[in-house]
């Protein structure tokens, strides 16, 4: 009987280690440059040509650098809300969660047309940072979808 218990314990440990190892959260830190050839800009997408990302255990900070200046967005990684500037002087609420190695953020903005929610997903694969965004069409059509691919500087 003790052999069965030992076997089940070892099997459980191996399974837990395999699952945890396959879902390690990436570190997005670094300076990133837009790869226009691999990006798909849909709707009103406005990618920053350069990003500087600082990532620690509790927060992710993205500085968007454009020719007209820079803007820094803060993401809390514990599931709580953070506030960031939105277009036309407004404010957006960001709420992030991990799904395996993907950071998924729901961004809610109050605009002229009411409340708007979009989803942003950050992933790293093959040395490239990908930011996928999806937001509804206010006219009720297909959602606007963008894919911004960045390579490390």
Domains of the chain: 26-152 (2.40.128.20)
Q: For residue range 109-152, list pLDDT tens digits in order.
A: 987 767 889 999 999 999 999 999 998 887 888 888 999 999 99
* Residue 4 pLDDT level (bands cut at 50, 70, 90): very low
Contact 49, 32 (CB under 8 A): no
Q: For residue range 51-87, list pLDDT tens digits in order.
A: 999 999 999 999 998 888 899 999 999 999 999 988 7
Stated pTM of the model: 0.80
| pLDDT attached to residue 13 | 36
The arrangement of strands across the sheet holding 69-76 comes to 69-76, 59-66, 50-55, 30-34, 144-152, 128-135, 114-125, 102-111, 91-99, 81-85
Contact 100, 110 (CB under 8 A): no
| pLDDT attached to residue 43 | 60
High-pLDDT (> 70) share of the chain, %:
82
């Amino acid at each position: 009987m003790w052999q069965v218990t030992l076997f089940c314990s070892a099997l459980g440990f191996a399974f837990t280690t395999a699952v945890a190892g396959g879902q390690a959260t990436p570190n997005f830190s670094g300076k990133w440059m837009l790869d226009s050839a691999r990006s798909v800009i849909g709707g009103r997408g406005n990618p920053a040509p350069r990003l500087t990302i600082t990532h620690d255990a509790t927060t992710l900070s993205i500085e968007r650098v454009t020719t007209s200046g820079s803007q820094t967005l803060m993401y809390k990684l514990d599931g709580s809300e953070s506030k960031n500037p939105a277009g036309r002087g407004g404010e957006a609420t960001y709420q992030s969660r991990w799904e395996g190695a993907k950071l998924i953020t729901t961004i809610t903005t109050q605009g002229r047309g009411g409340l708007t929610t979009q989803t942003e997903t950050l992933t790293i694969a093959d040395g490239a940072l990908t930011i996928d965004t999806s937001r509804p069409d206010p006219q009720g059509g297909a959602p606007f979808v963008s894919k911004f691919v960045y390579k490390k500087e």
